[in-house]
Amino acid sequence: MRGTMADNDIQGQMKALVFLLRSEEWRDIWSSLNLTVRTFGELSLDVSVPDAELWHMCQREQIVLVTGNRNKTGPDSLETTIEAHGTPNSLPVLTVASPKQVLFSRDYADRVVESLLQYLLAIDNFRGTGRLWLP
């Protein structure tokens, strides 16, 4: 795994989470992972890229996708893509269960960070699981 990235539906939440990850409380653990936080711009992707294309790119580049997306509408939806194309080696998609709470509750945001780090520290144990929920 080389990095993480926020889906277009959770950009502000990811900024808040990265702020917490870089705080004194979590900095050492976060730094030990040596991960980059990638953006759509860095990867030359439009924010309206279909979920299927984004998931495949994340798998190819070994980037863990963080999303608030639970949509299973249509053949290109994230859930449909995970079900159709996931393998035992696929990185999981990490889904924030309540994205708005990240911005309005420090306690909730801290729990999301803790859960995120637990998954990232043992990411190879979670390959092939499809989707994991934060917190």
Q: What is the pLDDT along the chain (135 residues), one digit of tens a residue?
A: 899 999 999 999 999 999 999 999 999 999 999 999 999 999 999 999 999 999 999 999 999 999 997 766 788 899 999 999 999 999 999 999 999 999 999 999 999 999 999 999 999 999 999 999 999
Q: What radius of gyration, in Å, describes the C-alpha atoms of the chain?
A: 14
Instruction: Catalogue all structural domains in the chain, each as residue range(s) with its CATH number.
Output: 3-134 (3.40.50)
Could you give the CA distance from residue 86 to residue 128 in angstroms, rounded to a whole number?
Answer: 7
Q: For 21-69, what is the HEC assignment?
A: HCCCCCHHHHHHHCCEEECCCCCCCCCCCCHHHHHHHHHHHCEEEEECC
Whole-model pTM: value is: 0.94
Count each helix (H run) and each strand (E run) in the chain, helices first: 6, 5
Could you give the CA distance from residue 121 to residue 26 in angstroms, rounded to a whole number?
Answer: 13
